[in-house]
Amino acid sequence: MSESKRILRLAAIQMCSGQDLDRNLRRAVEFIHAGADRGADVVALPENFAFMGSDRERADVAQELDGRIVTELRKVARERSVILLAGSYLERSRQSGDTRPFNTSVLFDRQGEIVAVYRKLYLFDVCLADGSSYRESEYIQPGSEVVVARTEGVSFGLSICYDLRFPELYRVLALRGARVVFVPAAFTLLTGKDHWIPLLRARAIENQISVVAPAQYGLHEAHRQTYGHAAIVDSWGTVLAQAPEQECVVCADVDFTYQEDVRRRIPVFEHLRMEVFEQAFQAARGGPGAKNRTG
């Protein structure tokens, strides 16, 4: 697939993963095959597709990049000749002094080769209105790199779940050339019902990118309930596909000619005032120009 073809078929998978790694992997492979059978060029799995438990339990089943999870997905990407996103799994850290694993996405090309590894930047440390509390950073360590990968002439930006609430990440991905951005997620039911689709549409609209958002859905064994509604959104903010309340695969076509037309009609990247925001960021950090100016 190259941009000269102009059309890219995307598939977003919705799963209800549990604590049985073998079953989760079987289901993931089944859904990848289902997406490929529908003609998808790109197939994306959700966050925590291989194991959905508490942060502590997930950390206990962390694997290396050359472990079973990645090895099996490399094989199916090659067999079905699809670009495949392993939405996220827990990757064992090799850093000294911090044994917490990373929440990691891996992107494979059609030959099953790894073309990108992204480690979740923003960790979900929140207290919600229903009394539930999440402290992802207690067991997971954050990544430190923004990742854009190019394969077959298309640039893909990578992000995971809570990253969606930080628009500066998506602006940087777009400025680095991303045309399609992944948002694999396990959004809570409470936040998802109000924020999931509006945030996906906002990131697509403001950056004139297509967004592929595979998702976890339903009640999981760890007594966590996720919102689901895996979606594909185009660069105008139109929701091209959205999953019903069940495990499934949804597909949609992205037209790069249409995306370029959107960018021509509303040329936001030509109008960026980078110098204004550089000053604002310095001020927020207490650097040069930190003093407020009036008048």
State how far the Cα of 161 lies from the Cα of 216, in Å rounded to an integer. 10
Residue 5: per-residue pLDDT: 66
**213, HSE (Cβ side, Cα atoms, 13 Å):** 33
Q: Using one digit for the tens of pLDDT, what is the confidence trace for 172-183?
A: 999 999 999 999
Domains and CATH numbers, the chain: 7-259 (3.60.110.10)
Average pLDDT, the chain: 92
pLDDT surpasses 60 at 207: yes
pLDDT surpasses 90 at 221: no
Residue 289: per-residue pLDDT: 46
Residues annotated as catalytic are 47, 120, 161
Q: Using one digit for the tens of pLDDT, what is the confidence trace for 224-263?
A: 899 999 999 999 999 999 999 999 999 999 999 999 999 9
Residue 56: per-residue pLDDT: 76
State how far the Cα of 276 lies from the Cα of 113, in Å rounded to an integer. 41
Residue 149: CB partners within 8 Å, gap ≥ 6? 107, 115, 116, 155, 156, 158
Neighbour-count burial for 277-286, b at 16+ CB within 10 Å, e otherwise? eeeeeeeeee
State how far the Cα of 166 lies from the Cα of 164, in Å rounded to an integer. 6
Looking at residue 18, its amino acid is G
Q: Using one digit for the tens of pLDDT, what is the confidence trace for 17-73?
A: 999 999 999 999 999 999 999 999 999 999 999 999 877 787 778 999 999 999 999
State how far the Cα of 96 lies from the Cα of 191, in Å rounded to an integer. 35
More confident residue, 282 or 166: 166
More confident residue, 274 or 9: 9
pLDDT surpasses 90 at 278: no
More confident residue, 103 or 132: 103
